[in-house]
Structure 1
Amino acid sequence: MRVQTTRPLRPSRFGAFIAPWHDINGNPSLQIRRDLDLVAHLDGLGFDEAWIGEHHSAGYETIASPEVFIAAAAERTRRIRLGTGVNSLPYHHPLLLADRIVQLDHQTMGRVMLGAGPGQLPSDAFMMGIDPMRQRDMMAEALEAVVALLRGETVTRKADWFRLDHARLQLAPYQRGGIEVAVASTVSPSGSVQAGRHGLSLLSLAAGDPGGFAALDANWRIYDQTCTEHGHPADRDSWRLVVPLHLAETAEQARREAEYGALHLVRYSEGLSGMTLPWGTDAATAVERWTTEGFPTFGVATIGTPDDAIARIEAMAERSGGFGTLLLMDLPAAAPEAKRRSYELFAEYVIPHFTGANRQRAASLGWAHANSETFMGAMHAAVAAACEK
């Protein structure tokens, strides 16, 4: 656990949150293949994590099983950690979900993480006959069982939608310290309460939304308080925040590139809400709205240069009080090649700013500069002596 200093903790780990969102006019097979290619690209760029979502309706978020995707992505990657972002617990029997995650832990040689949530899309719950008013209670019931199973306990528990009789996992996790579990949190405090109750990590999905960002302080306080009540440490280093970003060499180029995908996201929001958004007819207007007041679901995006991204993340650290991992919300904000370039710019210029990767290089150059007269004088003297000889 890191010791909190007077300066809020800056993120030192970075990753992507891949729901995914895809334009419904594109080829779904190619879109999923590009998602797999993207995770391999992130691994090569040195990103730490990729989280893969679970959705079953509305056409844009087309991965139904993050576990199947992670199994394929693991074979294409070397070091990046892979998380379910998130499993909707009311949709799964706790024993079967825990069993699949432990199998993945072995297949990935310890790189898997479990993200847990109640389920985002009401259309998913409707098709399964699940009352949206019950989802958070169901999630709490399932989470208690899943956590106990992953910790090697034998569980007997009965809910009105599942039953466990002396249930246990036949495999222990590959990871010696156990599989990391992160609970999704948006605006309401329910995720913070469940994460604190079980001593789990906190995954704030709505940090890019003005309402979700404003709730960060309250959600952390509730998480901290609940952790204390149940005897768990509340470590900001395990806190993850998700934010939308798109970067290019210039701010003007980034905004032009974002016009490619902004209207796709508007159509998705309109499809879910049944409303027509007045600023959603022109791409440039939509980008302006996205970077100021924000989009429903997707929040306020930083669309600009690496320096703009650094400023946004620094502000998030100050406002939140500090966190350990920043996840980039993976969106079709730009054409595939431009999106890949955005990740490359982030890895090249933003990550080193926060990890301090170039601190010693800068110090070494500064030392050489400060002593340049001595060093250059000695070199010139040596050259002169050689010529004389």
Structure 2
Amino acid sequence: MAGEKIRFGAFIAPFHPLDENPTLALERDLDLVVHMDKLGYDEAWLGEHHSAGYELIASPELFIATVAERTRNIRLGTGVSSLPYHHPLMLADRINQLDHITRGRVMFGVGPGALPSDAFMMGIPVSRQRDRMDEALDVLVPLLRGEQVTKKTDWFELNEARLQMLPYSRPSVEISVASQVSPSGATAAGRHGLGLLSIGATQTGGFNALTSNWAIAESQARDSGTSVDRDQWRLVGPMHIAATREEARAQVRAGLDKWLYYFREVAALPLAPTDGSDPVDAIVDSGMAVVGTPEDAVKQIERLREQSGGFGAFLLLDTNWAEWDNKKKSYELIARYVMPEVNGMNINRRASIEWAAANRPRFIGEAQAAVGARLADHIEKKGTENIRPEILAAMGLDKKAEAAE
């Protein structure tokens, strides 16, 4: 399958059950990004959360600064920075510094904040989070382009504010807005000409909203005098891959129930069946997740491509369903088999071997004729004393040699 190249990455919230050592869990997240870098993944996005115990990265900027020193090529994004939690100037300054120290490998994902418990602890009205995200974006976009901004709202004030350094990436670091089902993310992306992070792209509501959300982004961009690019549209969904479907299903049972518990009890998303049916069947049959083989993963990408009309990157929702070794193997299998199939990386290799096979009789005949000519020349000059009989027989020169004698 060939077409526009799709980048691959991971959206790492992360999700770590309460029975694990949190220090080691964070170290494993760092190791995962290093593993991805070696496998040729394009991007890793790191979350920001402050409550509920599972999503342990409080500062994606600190994580990025750490893992940037351990990696070479992979781009690193905040996935996402919760804008109502930060004064815009401070956040812009940190992102701009990361842009410089990573030599342009940083990306800036933004959102209103996913957990109401985070907002509650900071006294932020949940009903105002999306409004505050919009207000912050209004100043963050020009700040990160090196412009001067003056603005006063009911929660921050900027007076002739300007970053001390121009961005390393020109005209700005890449900015993407989180989106699920509601149009707020797509509207913000279109208004400012930013990328879009469709975090629930494989869940039923998010999948069905892909086309409409991109249409909203394009429409808003036209109204705002900006533009949006499908190459900066990222779709997020979970996958676990093994050699067979049976192996994959057995492996995800190590952590699936704990993951579903978090979403059922904390995040309040209806991901787990309530009728006693197998949860693996539920997430696979709904299309929300791939638990299977590389071929199943390719079909999911094709399904998303058809539904969306085209996008730039697929990000694995990192789930910790499987044990660490099996999880790393899943990432490896995706890099070895899914990426090349989706992006047509082996088209020329296949064409080359088919061409070589189709022309084998001609090539072999020419090669044998060339060798035979040299042998005949040698026999004519030196005789057959030092040539093995089977070589003469294979080349059809034994009788010619006898006749010459």
**Per the shorter chain, which TM-score range?**
over 0.9
Q: 2:131 aligns with which of 130, 137, 151?
A: 137
Secondary structure of 2:62 counterpart = helix
| Structure (1 or 2) with the larger CA radius of gyration | 2
**C-alpha deviations, 1:230-275, integer Å up to 9, x for none?**
2222221111100110000001100000111111112212321679
- In structure 1, the residue matched to 2:154 is 160
CA contact (8 A) 1:263 1:281 kept: no
Matches within 5 A, 1:235-384: 235-272=229-266, 279=273, 285-293=278-286, 300-384=288-372
Q: Are residues 175 and 275 of structure 1, via their aligned partners in 2, closer, same or farther at CA, if it must alter by over 3 Å?
A: closer
- Separation (CA, whole Å) in 2 of partners of 1:99 and 1:195: 21
Q: Where does residue 74 of structure 2 map in the other structure?
A: 80
CA contact (8 A) 1:11 1:323 kept: no
CA gap of 1:236–1:274, structure 2 versus 1, over 3 A, is closer
The yes-or-no answer on 1:387 pairing with 2:375 is: yes
Aligned residue for 2:187? 193
User: SS of the residue aligned with 1:47?
Assistant: coil
Q: Deviation digits for residues 276-314 of structure 1, max 9, x if unmatched?
A: 9984798x92212221237xxxxx110000000001100
- What is the SS of the residue equivalent to 1:76? coil
Q: Are the equivalent residues in 1 in contact too, given 2:272–2:279 (CA < 8 A)?
A: no
Matched, 1:224 2:228: no
Whole-Å separation in 1 of the counterparts to 2:191 and 2:5 = 24
Instruction: State the structure with bigger RCO (CA 8 A, min sep 6), 1 or 2.
Output: 1
User: Cα RMSD between the aligned structures?
Assistant: 2.0
User: Are 2:3 and 2:344, in contact at CA under 8 Å, matched by a contact in 1?
Assistant: no
**Residue 184 (str. 1) matches residue 172 (str. 2):** no
Q: How big is the shift at 1:9? A: 6.0
Task: State the AA in 2 paired with 1:366.
Answer: E
1:178-211 Cα offsets, whole Å, 9 max, x none, are: 2000000100000001010000011110101100
CA distance in 2, matches of 1:277, 1:49: 26
CA shift, 1:327, in A, is 0.5
Contact 2:221 2:228 in 1 (8 A): yes
User: Does residue 49 of the first structure (1) align with residue 47 of the second (2)?
Assistant: no
Matching residue of 2:204: 210
Cα distance, 1:355 vs. partner? 2.4
Give, as a single letter, the amino acid of the residue that structure 1 aligns with 2:203: D
The structure 1 segments of at least 4 consecutive aligned residues displaced by more than 6 Å after TM superposition are 274-278
Q: How does 1:121-132 map to 2 (within 5 A)?
A: 121-132=115-126
What is the CA–CA distance in structure 1 between the aligned matches of 2:231 and 2:114, rounded to whole Å? 26
Structure-1-length-normalised TM-score: 0.93
Q: 1:274 to 1:377 in 2, by over 3 A?
A: closer
User: CA 1:356/1:177 → structure 2, altered by over 3 Å: closer, same or farther?
Assistant: farther
- Residue 398 of structure 2: aligned partner: none
- What fraction of aligned residue pairs are identical, expressed as a percent? 55
Q: Any stretches of 5+ residues in structure 1 without a counterpart?
A: 1-6, 295-299
Q: Which amino acid aligns with 1:196?
A: G
* Bigger shift: residues 340-349 or 225-234: 225-234
Q: Aligned AA for 1:286?
A: P
Cα distance in 1 between the residues matched to 2:155 and 2:65: 28
- Matched to 2:297, the amino acid is A
Shift of 1:52: 0.2
Task: Give TM-score scaled by structure 2 length.
Answer: 0.89
Deviation at 1:45, TM superposition (A): 0.4
Residue 150 in structure 1 maps to residue 150 in structure 2: no
For the 8 Å contact 1:197–1:230, the answer to whether it is kept is: yes
Displacement after TM superposition at 1:387 (Å): 3.5
- One-letter code aligned to 1:215: A
Aligned residue type for 2:180: T
Q: Is 2:88 aligned against 1:94?
A: yes
Post-superposition offset of 1:386: 3.6
- Structure 2 residue runs of 5 or longer lacking an equivalent are 379-405
Kindly tell me: are residues 302 and 125 of structure 1, through their superposed partners in 2, closer, same or farther at Cα, counting changes over 3 Å?
same
Question: Is the contact between residue 12 and residue 325 of structure 1 (CA under 8 Å) also seen in structure 2?
Answer: yes
Aligned residues: 377
Shift of 1:385: 2.9
Distance (whole Å) between structure 2 residues aligned to residue 148 and residue 61 of structure 1: 31
Q: Distance in 2 between matches of 1:81 and 1:24?
A: 29
1:101-138 per-position Cα deviation (integer Å, ceiling 9, x unaligned):
00011111110000010000001001111111000000
